[in-house]
Amino acid sequence: MADATRPPARIKICGLSTEDTLDAALALGVDWIGLVHFPRSPRHVDVARAAGLSRRAKGRAERVVLLVDPDDTLLTSVVEAVGPDLIQLHGRESPERVAAIRALTGRPVMKALGLASPADLAPLAAYVAVADRILLDAKAPADSALPGGNGRCFDWTILADRDLPAGTMLSGGLDAANVAEALARTQLGAVDVSSGVESAPGIKDPDRIAAFVAAARGMD
């Protein structure tokens, strides 16, 4: 059951790529929908498709476009076509680059940080100073082609006694079976899921989305 002393968790479903699964997420009242524009990802959508899905979600959830080390040309074209409410940066963008992207696009920016050990939190303060929101994800394996969406958890005890900024979002290997525990142990108020609501890489499952949302909100 939900902790009555805490507000309900805010939920982002990332990597949506079809109208049916987008509609399923929206019908459940998720807070953010994520559109991945990164060709190596099984969740990649081209700019035209991302634009169509974004229009469909407008006014029903905040629309997030995920980019990996984008150059200025890509940023400009994606923001113009998709009109995202938030840009998620999931590459090796430096704090200086994050600040530049925020200035160039005029959009709020969320920076993802990959964690595997306490040392990986060292850059946090620099990113907090320039990003509107921080997403904490599991650090990708060295041989991974993807910077995120690998279905791996990190050790949540890394976050114990850390002073994390308001709005920090938790990601990495979350699913309906572990999201309630993750929220309880980290005391964060926002979660992001992608592979944990899929039947196969890149294939979202409406039933798994519904189960995740129910678990995150502490519903029976």
The catalytic site residues sit at: 14, 137
- Beta carbons of 37 and 65 less than 8 angstroms apart: yes
Beta bridge partners of 35: 65
Question: Strand locations in the chain, DSSP E?
Answer: 10-13, 32-36, 62-67, 86-89, 109-115, 133-138, 169-170, 190-193, 198-200, 203-204
Residue 149: count other Cβ atoms within 10 Å of its Cβ: 30
Task: Quote the CA–CA distance of 29 and 23 in Å, as a whole number.
Answer: 10
In which element (H, E) is residue 181 found?
A: helix 179-186
- Beta carbons of 126 and 134 less than 8 angstroms apart: no
Task: Quote the CA–CA distance of 40 and 146 in Å, as a whole number.
Answer: 7
Task: Quote the CA–CA distance of 61 and 146 in Å, as a whole number.
Answer: 26
Q: Where are the alpha helices (DSSP H) in 28-129?
A: 47-57, 72-82, 95-105, 124-128
